[in-house]
């Protein structure tokens, strides 16, 4: 495929990608756009030029503050829209080429949260991450709890505090235990951490009582984003027993602005780790359901260069998205368009592929060195955490851009 648009070969937003997002210019009117190279294609303006005339939908869904109504049109429409855009961008006499104003530089737009997230679920599906945490806090010989290899462990998170890349996060305050023999203190967390995750956006609703099988799960997934699930380890340690994470997680999670469709990721499917013991029939699946997505995390202190502190890959996930969705709905819990399911921290086997500072600094015992001097055990005030991800196969690159947020001093 060759586009008439000039696209850098290292761009995440190649002709093979075409992710969807919500943007605005100086008039602040939010519209749906598609990223191509370093530009945004304004889909509302493209609609007015008639490129979607063979697809039946209301232009109103393209002048919206979220992708929800567009996604709700269903894959029969959204896949067609993406294919029409791809065809126009490869056709030398396209009407888009003679109307350059439908393209806007990414550097001159503001990106917004791409979806209105109704419900947010966070899984815990990396065996390396779960093993590291179990080793650190429980028993190195029995790091995984008895349920871990039988079901994709998860919890219901907080949707109201999900923010888009570029928005910043205040250091949270809460109860922490400084001395195990004394009552807890109330203070700003001193162990703020990132969690390298990816999330998927639900593209099709289900009715209460219905379940989604591993076989049909992909019909229900619109696309994927990068996700930093900010965590306060000291608050978490005290509060999480017996019901799991609460205020240690709910203060913020950051999301990348471009939703990469499952169709764009199809060429990067790969088989996942062997699951032993065998899973129950409702969690079994056929074919390759993992994805080869290279991930990295950088820390950038104020006025300093970035240091890459972790290089991981989404392919390491023990539980795949199909299994997560089958498990999530097996009890009849319904899904809504725009719901977000996050993977859980994505760690690899090597110590430089761990997806959190808790693991990288091994609970603070091994500080991580920064390129311009200094070290980090956890995230400090005014540090910016940047996560990036992309797939590469030969000359074909499909990427996610970045999710970037700065940790601000406690309010």
Binding site for Ca ion (CB under 5 A): 122, 195, 229
Q: How far apart are the first and last CA of the chain?
A: 51
Task: Give 402's strand partners.
Answer: 388
**Smallest separation, CB 197 to Ca ion (Å):** 6
Q: From the centroid of its chain, how far is CA 187?
A: 30
Instruction: Report how far residue 20's alpha carbon sits from residue 40's, in angstroms, rounded to the nearest whole number.
Output: 9
Q: How far is the CB of 338 from Ca ion (least distance, A)?
A: 19
**CB nearer to Ca ion: pick between 12 and 122:** 122
3-state helix, strand, coil in the chain (%, to 5): 25, 30, 50
Residue whose token pair is 């109860």: 175
Residue 341 structure tokens: 């399911």
Handedness of CA 319, 322, 323, 325 (dihedral sign): positive
Would you call 150 a catalytic residue per the annotation?
Answer: no
Strands 368-369 and 154-156: unpaired
- Shortest Å distance, C-beta 60 to Ca ion: 35
Ordered alpha helix ranges (H), 90-232: 127-137
Nearest distance, CB of residue 190 and Ca ion, angstroms: 20
* Distance in Å, CB of 398 to Ca ion, minimum: 24
Q: Output the smallest distance, CB 124 to Ca ion, in A.
A: 7
Closest approach of Ca ion to the CB of residue 325, in Å: 17
**What is the four-CA torsion angle of 120, 125, 129, 130, rounded to 10 degrees?**
100
Q: Are 331 and 341 in contact (CB under 8 A)?
A: no
Identify the three-state secondary structure at position 41.
Answer: strand
**Does residue 142 sit in helix, strand or coil?**
helix
Closest chain position to Ca ion (CB) = 229
What are the DSSP E strand ranges found in 203-318? 221-228, 231-232, 253-255, 260-261, 269-270, 290-291, 294-300, 307-313
Indicate which residue of 10, 28, 99, 129 is catalytic: 129
Half-sphere exposure of 103 (CA within 13 A, CB side): 16
Spatial contact of 203 and 115, defined as CB atoms under 8 Å apart: no
Buried b (16+ CB within 10 A) or exposed e, 63-91: ebebbbbbbbbebebbebbbebbbebbee
Q: How far is the CB of 238 from Ca ion (least distance, A)?
A: 18
Closer CB to Ca ion, 22 or 340, in the complex: 340
31's CB contacts (< 8 A; 6+ apart) are: 22, 23, 24, 42, 43, 44, 62, 63, 64
Catalytic residues: 129
């Amino acid at each position: 495929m060759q586009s008439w648009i000039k696209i850098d070969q290292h761009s995440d937003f190649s002709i093979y990608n075409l992710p969807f997002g919500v943007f605005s210019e100086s008039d602040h009117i939010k519209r749906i756009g598609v990223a191509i190279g370093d530009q945004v294609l304004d889909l509302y303006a493209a609609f007015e030029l008639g490129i979607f005339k063979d697809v039946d939908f209301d232009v109103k869904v393209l002048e919206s503050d979220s992708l929800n109504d567009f996604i709700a049109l269903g894959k029969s429409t959204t896949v067609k829209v993406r294919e029409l855009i791809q065809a126009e961008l490869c056709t030398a006499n396209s009407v888009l080429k003679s109307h350059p104003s439908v393209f806007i530089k990414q550097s001159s737009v503001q990106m917004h949260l791409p979806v209105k997230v109704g419900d947010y679920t966070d899984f815990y599906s990396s065996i390396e991450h779960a093993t590291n945490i179990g080793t650190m806090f429980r028993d190195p010989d029995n790091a995984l709890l008895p349920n871990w290899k039988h079901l994709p462990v998860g919890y219901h998170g907080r949707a109201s505090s999900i923010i888009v890349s570029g928005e910043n996060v205040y250091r949270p305050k809460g109860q922490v235990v400084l001395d195990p023999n004394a009552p807890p203190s109330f203070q700003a967390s001193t162990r703020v951490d990132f969690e390298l995750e990816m999330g998927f956006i639900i593209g099709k609703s289900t009715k209460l009582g219905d379940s989604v099988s591993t076989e049909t799960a992909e019909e229900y997934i619109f696309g994927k984003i990068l996700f930093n699930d900010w965590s306060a380890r000291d608050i978490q340690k005290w509060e999480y027993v017996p019901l799991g994470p609460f205020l240690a997680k709910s203060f913020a999670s950051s999301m990348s602005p471009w939703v990469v469709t499952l169709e764009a990721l199809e060429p990067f499917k790969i088989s996942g780790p062997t699951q032993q013991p065998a899973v129950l029939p409702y969690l079994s699946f056929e074919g390759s359901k993992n994805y080869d997505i290279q991930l990295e995390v950088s820390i950038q202190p104020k006025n300093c260069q970035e240091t890459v502190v972790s290089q991981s890959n989404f392919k390491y996930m023990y539980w795949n998205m199909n299994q997560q969705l089958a498990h999530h709905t097996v009890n009849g819990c319904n899904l809504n368009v725009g719901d977000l399911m996050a993977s859980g921290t994505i760690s690899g086997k090597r110590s430089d592929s761990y997806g959190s500072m808790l693991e990288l600094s091994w609970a603070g015992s091994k500080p991580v060195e920064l390129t311009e001097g200094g070290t980090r055990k956890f995230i400090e005030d005014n540090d910016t955490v940047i996560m990036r991800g992309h797939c590469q196969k030969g000359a074909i690159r499909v990427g996610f851009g970045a999710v970037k947020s700065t940790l601000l001093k406690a309010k």
